[in-house]
Structure formats: structure tokens, C-alpha cells
Amino acid sequence: MSKTLSGVIAAIATPIEESGAPDLARAMKLARFLLDNGCDGLNVLGTTGEATSFSLAERKAVMDAYKSNGLPLDRLMVGTGAAAVSDAVALTKHAAELGFAGALVLPPFYYKGVPDDGLAAYIDVLVQATAATPIPLYLYHYPAMSGLPWHRALIERLLKAHPTRIVGLKDSSGDMNYARAAAAVKPGFAVFPSTEAALFDARRGDFAGCISATANLNADLCQRAWASGDAASLDAAVTIRKLFEGKPLVSGVKALLAHIHGDQALGRMKPPLAPFSAADRAAVTAGYDGVRARKVA
């Protein structure tokens, strides 16, 4: 199996064509830029990547593009969770066969309040389906969106059942107490909080790094914080993240990507998400430019 990922990982946005299909050319260009400018890895087709808004065929096409364009799959994890177990199996098998370093697995998110037995059975099916090509599995904990937590007792159960296959967890709950509890379940269990604010904790060994939506925008600053403990860079990176407080994060990230790269098509959204408002775009852009000007100065 691949080595466990670590460091600064961007939850990469997925550019969208006017037709609503994934814009594969822009996606590859953005991926290369991020990998060349501070990202140790990428989380492809996560929440920021609007994965659940795409069909099975579209998600597979995005994965295929990373492979066919020669992106370093050993630095990439890809979201393969789905409400239908058969879809999750198809996506996870596809990721494994292509050679992605890991699969990030949301719980099956439509039915709420399901028992641990049901969630354990879901993971059992994924593990068995990929036994021939045993891709590492990362649990995706985002209860505000999925409605289903990977709580500590369930993590312990899954690690006991599949000790070599469940290697880590992305925590998008924002609850650092939960993140620390998850990381303490087993030595070497790779937990990634969803904010770059945790990078100094990760440098101390508490976490494996971070998987952040805003690393699309501040990966260079995050990398300086991660690699050398540069406090000023971390402060600037966190300040950029805070620009989105109280605003829709995914459309905001894409609006700012459009500004940074001078390509308005990068701001296009897949329904049901809507573009960032003009007022929010103006405020966030001004804030970002201000942070960058101060950092350079």
C-alpha cells in the first residue's frame, strides 16, 4: 500500500465547464499549480471539490484525468464516499486501480441515526471490494454535512477489524477535542484537521497535517508554516481563511481562485451551489490582496 500522506493538503476545487461538466483542463492546471506552490498533496473530489454534485461517470472522469495527465497519484487522496454503497464501491475500486494514495470515505449520508453496525458494514464492503488492490482508507468526519459521525468507539471498532486498511481521518467538524481524541485512538493514525490553524500542532506530532479548502489560496504560506515553523506565514494563512467566516466557503474559494489566477471561469459553480455574491467577492478579494501586500512588504 502507499505511504500515509502528510503535511499541507488542499481540498482542491473542481473547475466547471459552462455545460456543468467538470472542466478537466482547468482542473489539471490548478492541481499542478498547487503541487508546485506549497501543497504536499491534494484531496481530490471532496466537499470543496463538489464531489456529491457530480455523477458517478463524472467523478470517474476526474480521477482518470489525474492519471492520464501524469499527476503524482502518490500525493493524492480522492473522495469516494457515496449514499449508495455500490457507488462507493465503484469509486473506491476505480481509485485503487488507478493508483491513488488513498480514498477519503464519507459515511452513506442520506439515512440519519443509523447504528454502528450499518456503518461498519459499509466499510466492510469497501475493504472487501478492494482487497486485490488495497488502497488506504481515510474516514471523512463531517457530521454537519453528512449527519453521521465517525465517533471514537466506531473508529476503534473499524481499526480493530481492518488494522492495515483504515489509516487516517479528515476532521471537518472544527472540534479540536474530537480531532485529538481521534488521533489518540492508535499511534500513527493520521488525523487531518480541516484548518491550517492546526499546522503547528501537527508539527509537534499531534496531527498528520491539515486538509484545507483555503489551501487552494494560501498553500505557499501554509508550507512555510509547516516546513519551518514560520509564525508570520501561519498568521497570514489563517487571516485569509477567516475572510470566509459567515460566508459560503466553497463558492468563496472559487471566486478568489478566479481573482488569483485571472480566470473568471474558475468561479463557476455546479448546482445546487450558487456563485459567490458580488459584495462578498469584493470584500474577500480586498482582504486577500491586503494580506498578500502586507506579507510581501
Catalytic residues: 140, 170
Question: In this structure, what is the dihedral angle of CA atoms 44, 50, 51, 56, given to the nearest 10 degrees?
Answer: -130
Q: What's the CA gap between 10 and 61, in Å, rounded? A: 20
Residues pairing with 137 in the sheet = 103, 166
Residue 95: CA atoms inside 13 Å, Cβ hemisphere, count?
36
> Of 209, 218, 208, which is closest to residue 187 (Cα–Cα)?
208
Which grid cell is 246?
459567515
Q: What's the CA gap between 179 and 115, in Å, rounded? A: 22
CA angle, corner 127, sides to 124 and 129, nearest 5? 105
